[in-house]
Amino acid sequence: MTPLRQRFLHDLQLRNYAPRTIDTYVLRVALCARHFNRSPELLSGEQLRDYLIHLRDHRHASGTVLNQTVCALRLLFRVTLQLPDRVPHLPFQRRPKTLPTVLSRDEVQRLLDATPPGQPRLLFRLTYAAGLRVSEATRLRLRDLDFGRGVLRVCQGKGRKDRLVPLPRALRDDLVTVAVATGRRPDDWLFPGQDRRRPVTASAMQRLCTRLGRACVPGKRVTPHTLRHSYATHLLEAGVDLLTIQRLLGHRSLQTTARYLHVSTQHLRDTPSPLDLPVSEPPA
């Protein structure tokens, strides 16, 4: 590891960035340096702009990748290198506002029924039943299951925040069976990987979910996050208020939660079409 990368890594860690964010930012800077085949500290502001244009026009990078690159380069030059003048005009991309993909309850059930029994099915059922991010579900430990209080503790979710969510009653027996299995300890992963010292990877669960989604729900791109979107929308349609859903999802802003108002079909179904309205008689 080069001294510059080590300093950048330390700066990210000192600012308490999440491990996945640290890995992403280090990767974005490394790819930029590889493109020019030189250390980032030798790059000019114009070269950095040219790199963003290259990502957009030739690599067809998404808005997310472009914004990650901008954030990583800004932090590298402003904090680690103390060269803020190199990155004054690196623009953020305006991402198109799209509605999240939501499954009906029947579609969710088809997906869960098609999931291999055992750990994968329990993980997806819990992801949907508790509205978890896949990274939160895969990193649960046995100690996070509080059967006495009926809650599940999500440790250090997005934004490095802990939160409590209701422990799904429909999964209680399955979770108890896993928790009391012979030889398991409170610090053990709820969903261990092949190396039981590590949890199953989120990427493996994402690939499995996408493959199952193509077979079970054609026409919709299904990921584990789709189950989270479906959870929030189904709660909203069941009459749960937005503030409660915000707390359950761990959203910082109510505005983020409010987008589920746009995908809930309950209000839309209750709104009549003009063709469905009775025709009033003309006055005599």
Q: How confident is the model at residue 91, as a pLDDT?
A: 82
Would the pLDDT of 266 be above 90?
no
Please give the average per-residue pLDDT across 156-181, as a whole number. Answer: 85
Q: How confident is the model at residue 188, as a pLDDT?
A: 93
Q: Which of 202, 198, 154, 146 is nearest to 176 (CA)?
A: 146
Would the pLDDT of 273 be above 80?
no
CB 20, CB 133: distance < 8 Å: no
Split at pLDDT 50, 70, 90, the class of 281 is low
Would the pLDDT of 244 be above 80?
yes
Q: How confident is the model at residue 283, as a pLDDT?
A: 63
Query: What is the rounded CA–CA span in Å between residue 139 and residue 154?
Result: 9
Would the pLDDT of 77 be above 90?
yes
More confident residue, 279 or 36: 36
Question: Hey, do 3-86 and 105-267 end up sharing a CATH topology, with the first three levels equal?
Answer: no
Residues belonging to the active site: 133, 158, 225, 228, 251, 260
CB-side exposure of 229: number of CA atoms within 13 Å?
Answer: 19
Q: How confident is the model at residue 159, as a pLDDT?
A: 60
CATH superfamily, region 105-267: Intergrase catalytic core (1.10.443.10)
Each domain of the chain, given as residue ranges in start order, spans 3-86, 105-267
Q: How confident is the model at residue 39, as a pLDDT?
A: 93
Q: How confident is the model at residue 63, as a pLDDT?
A: 87
Query: What is the rounded CA–CA span in Å between residue 211 and residue 63?
Result: 25
Split at pLDDT 50, 70, 90, the class of 14 is very high
User: What value, to the nearest 5°, has the Cα angle with vertex 235 and ends 170 and 206?
Assistant: 70
Q: How confident is the model at residue 184, as a pLDDT?
A: 86
Q: How confident is the model at residue 157, as a pLDDT?
A: 63
Q: Which of 226, 265, 257 is nearest to 124 (CA)?
A: 226
Give the model confidence (pLDDT) of 97-109 as tens digits: 777 889 999 999 9
CB 162, CB 155: distance < 8 Å: yes
Look up the pTM and report it: 0.74
Tell me the CATH class for 3-86.
mainly alpha
When mean pLDDT is compared across 57-61, 188-192, 260-264, the lowest value belongs to 260-264
Please give the average per-residue pLDDT across 190-208, as a whole number. Answer: 92
